[in-house]
Amino acid sequence: AAAAAAAAAPESRCSLSTATAVPNLPNLPPTSSIEGLVDHQPYLACSMPGRRLKVAVLLSGGVDSSVALRLLHAAGHACTAFYLKIWFQEDFENFWSECPWDEDLKYAKAVCDQVDVPLEVVHLTDEYWNNVVSHIISEYRCGRTPNPDVLCNTRIKFGAFLDAIESMDFDYVASGHYAHIVHPSSDRKEFSILKLSNDMVKDQTYFLSHLSQSQLRRLLFPLGCLSKDEVRRLATLMDLPNKDRKDSQGICFLGKVKFSEFVAKHIGEMEGILLEAETGDFLGKHRGFWFYTIGQRQGLRLPGGPWYVVAKDVQNNVVFVSRNYFSLDKRRRMFRVGSLKWVTGSPPENSDQFRCKVRHGPGFYHCTLTIGLSEEVQEEEAVVCLAEDDQGLAAGQFAAFYHENTCIGSGVILESWDDQAFPICRRALDIAKMADKSKLGQPVKIMNRDIDSKSSAEARDKPAPCAAVHAKKKRVGATGFAPASGFGIWWRNLRHKILKLF
């Protein structure tokens, strides 16, 4: 591969054009060269063939973005590739022996050299830190689980990067995302629409669901018409230098660094205690509640398991665990979302015929939306009721909403709940609030689980009635609706009505 380019990126402005609908594609053309694609227009349907556009292409060095670049080039567009440098290699110099982004950049340069496409390097490390990484750290400190991919798309790839090239005369900005955008043909008053790709497994509209209309109007996704298998076959047909590279996994700016290592470095460690939820028994110590998520099984290092994280006391840095992870807290269907952003800029009129994704993947839930205004923070929020229970609802993650095959917007999950939560006994809650936990002494000796005997919680004298860390409680400030407020009373009555429907 050729040596990496090191030029800083100039700046850009985009104008609007049209896109076609996603067709049903035939088999790949039986040809040994990429020129054969020109005679098979369906493969270029998401690349606006037949027009001479000036396109800025985000190129990562991976297969997807490389195929996207070649498709746009085959469609006759004037392309300039841009590689975004956001690595934090100076923070993790002890974790690798070579520059983590050097290989990606070499592959990107080699792909561009095949078709004489210029490549620019845009340095956005500071922007990424200020807009994504610092937010991730803040959210984890608060006990929430953010989604860096959604933030990266919204704030960096199609945020800071668009700002960086604002002064240049690009018609569109393209990437290798699996999604499809239908732009208005001529009427500027019409909206650009974000639609599902042809590959439901690889579809990435969930990660793009928080983009604004002004961002969507400037984007182009050539892979929206293709499946992952077709993209791989095209990479071979094109004889791309990176045709055999595996897809990247994990958080994009970490590379080979484990997320726990990143958390330890930038958030730090704070020793806390592990308590059994049913008994309050002191089982051991942990490095900080932010290393654990609800439902987590790995990394607890407790004998006699399996053990699961069932609740966290963020204020007191206590993690509650149990060997009985079967409660309603594992499966919930109702949750509240904030930071709502709609593709058209306005909430949908009918809110009872939608589908929802609570994570990346092919799975959808039918859902209803009840949209209102929080009196505490004067921000639009919504209560979502899924048609089925879900066992992975996590505060800080995004929920994306769809009408048929169109993504209409998304919001951040603030909390999920049901009529019950995992029961934390009174003794455990009292111990969690102890100012001096050194008085607890040594952890109890954990006995192997005996499925034929009663649990240790039942063997002891019964604790006071169980409370719940996630039980309904008064919400104040930016945390949401206060039950004493008009909206809180409205929501409480609505919730009971909704529950009767299922």
Show which residues are catalytic: 152, 252
Alpha-carbon distance values, 171 to 14, 165, 220, 388 (Å):
4, 12, 10, 43
Task: Quote the tokens at residue 242.
Answer: 């990176």
Could you give the CA distance from residue 368 to residue 384 in angstroms, rounded to a whole number? Answer: 6
Token digits of residue 213 = 């209309």
Q: 483, 492 in Cβ contact below 8 A? A: yes
Number of Cβ within a 10 Å radius of residue 404: 10
Q: How many CB atoms lie within 10 A of CB 170?
A: 23
Residues 212 and 343: their CA atoms lie apart, in Å, by: 6
Residue type at position 448: N
Q: Cβ(112)–Cβ(81) under 8 Å?
A: yes
Residue 144 makes CB contacts below 8 A (sequence gap 6+) with 394, 395, 396
Q: Name the helix (H) or strand (E) containing 181.
A: strand 180-182
CB atoms within 10 A of CB 32: 9
Burial of 60 (0-12, 13-18, 19+ CB in 10 A): buried
Can you read off the two tokens belonging to residue 430? 């009292």
CA 312/CA 274 separation, integer angstroms:
10
Evaluate whether 85 touches 100 at the Cβ level (below 8 Å).
no
End-to-end CA distance of the chain: 59
Sole residue written with tokens 């919204």: 154
Query: DSSP of 112-141, one letter per residue?
Result: HHHTT--EEEEE-HHHHIIIIIHHHHHHHH
Q: Residue 307 and residue 328: Cα distance in Å, rounded?
A: 17
> To which H or E segment does residue 481 belong?
none
Q: Which residue has the tokens 């959210």?
A: 139
How many whole angstroms from its chain centre is CA 224?
19
